[in-house]
Amino acid sequence: MKKLCLGLLLIIFSIKGFAQMPKLKLDETVMFLPGFAVEQPDGSFRVGVNAWVFEQDSKRFTISALLTWLNVDYNELTPEQKALLEERTRYFRTDSERGKRLRVRLADKVFTLQRTNAHGRVHGRLNVGREWVKWANGSNGLGSITWTLEAPWHPLHGQKGSAWVIPAEGVSIVSDVDDTIKISEVLNKKTLVRNTFMKPFQAVPGMAEWYQEMARDEQHAFFHYLTASPVQLYPALSAFMKDANFPPGILHLRESTSWRTLYGGRKVTVAHKKDTIVRLLTNFPRRKFILIGDSGERDPEIYADIARTYPERILGVHIRNVTDEDRNAPRYQQTFDGIDPKIWHIRD
């Protein structure tokens, strides 16, 4: 009898706990960002589930402040510029939701993620069996694991998210975005903001073709697009990369922020890029890496440090020249001092 009563109490407390769980409200939105899955020694996979929970807010003052900073009159913008401004600022006009607990369904199993942090983000880790992997056609060896949002009371119930299953061996291409594959003009902050919010994104000529060539030629190639851009630009950047015909991959962005700190300071950018690359090297110890960036900020210095620390893992470092410095410039001679000259390249 005591065991029965104890069991009933546990069920009651479990139901009560779920009922009190901070559920997703009807005016809140979930954005799933692609992650990756890492194969474990027993053949299962540890899956990264990355999500951002936020509430949309009109926040017209965000657009007004941005235009005031740029010294631009809204009434003088073309209809196309106004439409882009509305679209690109949309996710900067939000309130991130702290403390939310999402539930996701994989096949017949439901998982509860940790609470979202101050940025409305959650980085969940799930362990699933190999039978839940959907393998892609072709020879690249890639697969994917897909889940759905479990929220029967919410219009987003059933929304899909996914993670890439990357082979344990092969070549990973880590590419910067701004001024490497997309013309951004990072060195001029006002031009950068104009290009981000008021102009169609433009691909750097020839880069998509080169990346597609690597996707075909490198063994089990996979692309990681690494940028200091905040998560609010994920929809616009992913659409740009698809339209410009860059190979599919994962966008690694910073946490949500305001338009005023669009690309952060040097320390933030360096830390974000270094931490992400080291995490990839750690999660995929048998893969080789190619690092691609530009000379506008600190990509050469970041990549050189990585190449020194992991000399057997780095197949090549490619830097797009946007500062008019050739290979013999003092900056490069100092930065790549002691590194095999055959692996680092300056591209015009």
Spatial distance between the Cα atoms of 292 and 300, rounded to a whole number of angstroms: 9
Q: Are residues 242 and 313 in the same domain?
A: yes
* Domain coverage including residue 286: 170-347
pLDDT (tens digit per residue) in 106-164: 988 999 999 999 999 999 999 999 888 998 766 567 899 999 999 999 999 999 999 99
Q: Are residues 196 and 332 in the same domain?
A: yes
Does residue 341 sit within a domain?
yes
Whether residue 289 contacts residue 314, with contact meaning beta carbons closer than 8 Å, is answered with yes
Q: Are residues 241 and 184 in the same domain?
A: yes
Query: What CATH code is carried by the domain that includes residue 247?
Result: 3.40.50
Spatial distance between the Cα atoms of 25 and 8, rounded to a whole number of angstroms: 30
Q: Say how far residue 221 (Cα) sits from the centre of its chain.
A: 18
Whether residue 192 contacts residue 185, with contact meaning beta carbons closer than 8 Å, is answered with yes
Q: Are residues 142 and 280 in the same domain?
A: no
Please list the residues that pair with 123 across neighbouring strands: 50
Whether residue 54 contacts residue 28, with contact meaning beta carbons closer than 8 Å, is answered with yes
Please state which of the ranges 3-12, 165-174, 243-252, 254-263 shows the lowest mean pLDDT. Answer: 3-12
Query: What CATH code is carried by the domain that includes residue 149?
Result: 2.60.40
Q: Are residues 293 and 191 in the same domain?
A: yes
Does residue 88 sit within a domain?
no
The domain boundary, picked from 138, 165, 192, lies at 165
Q: Are residues 182 and 137 in the same domain?
A: no
The domain boundary, picked from 165, 195, 213, lies at 165
Pairing mode, if any, of strands 45-56 and 35-39? antiparallel
Q: Are residues 294 and 278 in the same domain?
A: yes
Q: Are residues 184 and 292 in the same domain?
A: yes
By three-state DSSP, how is residue 264 classified? coil
Q: Residue 339: name the closest of 297, 292, 301 by CA.
A: 301
Q: Are residues 335 and 234 in the same domain?
A: yes
Please state which of the ranges 19-33, 201-215, 243-257 shows the lowest mean pLDDT. Answer: 19-33
Does residue 306 sit within a domain?
yes
Q: Are residues 179 and 160 in the same domain?
A: no
Q: Are residues 302 and 319 in the same domain?
A: yes
Whole-model pTM? Answer: 0.90
DSSP 132-164: G-EEPSSSS--EEEEEEE--TTSTTTT-EEEEE
Average pLDDT, the chain: 90
Q: Are residues 110 and 247 in the same domain?
A: no
pLDDT (tens digit per residue) in 236-251: 999 999 999 999 999 9
- The number of distinct structural domains making up the chain is 2
Residue with tokens 């999660």: 283
Does residue 217 sit within a domain?
yes
- How many CB atoms are located within 10 Å of the residue 276 CB? 18
Pure H helices in 71-206: 79-89, 189-197
**Sign of torsion, CA 184 249 302 181?**
negative
The domain boundary, picked from 122, 150, 165, lies at 165
Does residue 326 sit within a domain?
yes
Does residue 336 sit within a domain?
yes
